[in-house]
Structure 1
Amino acid sequence: MPYVLVVLAILFEVAATLSLRASEGFSKLAPSVVVVIGYAVSFALLAKALTQLNVGPVYAIWSALGTVGAFAGGVLLFNEPLKPVTIAGAVIVVAGVVVMNLGGGVSHS
């Protein structure tokens, strides 16, 4: 169950981040509301998951997959540039999370 919470936290964080872009500096109401609610729900879900999982690896997963999700969403929704170097950066971020999890896992000891 805590892993489901982490996945949901990532999805809400990505939605909030993409809505932040769509809000145009909080000048559009609907995306601005999604930003506030999305981040609040994401943090609440992450906090609940961290009652059963180790903070370092879980935060790495949450932030890395949120970063990659926001990057992909920016490309798909806002026509942001997709370059080999940005793809390489995303791969490096994910590889870092994998290495970090090899060192300690995500369950409380």
Structure 2
Amino acid sequence: MHKWLYLLVAIISEVAGTTALKSAEGFTRLWPSCVVVAGYASAFYFLSLTLKAIPVGIAYAIWSGLGTALVAVVAWVFMGQRLDLPAVFGILLIIAGVLVLNLCSTSATH
């Protein structure tokens, strides 16, 4: 169970770091830059813990897929980024892929 919690923390940390990149303005603003560094450091640390129990290909696919989808949603909700129908469809396909990996694949450890 810890492996999935670690992966969730890694995803949330990566989303926080990526979201703060815009506010960091090329690392010219201190506090958003600190959030970027802390977010990515935390993301990689917890991803490394995840890799003790989940194969790297599966963990990375889930981490990057859900991270990408969540960053798009956060940008839409908090930064006013527009998402057209193809973007929404693409995000749904990413989420569907993560679900298929977890629910149907024997490659993922359960």
Give TM-score scaled by structure 2 length: 0.90
Identical-residue share of aligned pairs (%): 37
Equivalent pairs, count: 108
Question: How much is the aligned-residue C-alpha RMSD, in angstroms?
Answer: 1.5
CA distance in 2, matches of 1:40, 1:62: 14
Instruction: Compare relative contact order (CA 8 Å, sep 6+) and give the higher one, 1 or 2.
Output: 1
Matched, 1:25 2:26: yes
Matches of 1:60 and 1:52, distance apart in 2: 15
State the match for 1:77 in structure 2. Answer: 78
Taking the aligned partners of 1:49 and 1:39, their CA distance within structure 2 comes to 15
Q: 2: CA distance between counterparts of 1:15 and 1:100?
A: 24
Partners in 1 of 2:108 and 2:100 — Cα distance? Answer: 12
**Normalization by structure 1: what TM-score?**
0.91
Runs of 4+ in structure 1 off by over 4 angstroms are none
Give, in whole Å, the separation in 2 of the partners of 1:76 and 1:24: 20
Measured in 1, the distance between the counterparts of 2:78 and 2:19 equals: 9
Q: Is the 8 A contact 2:62 2:98 kept in 1?
A: yes
CA distance in 2, matches of 1:18, 1:104: 33
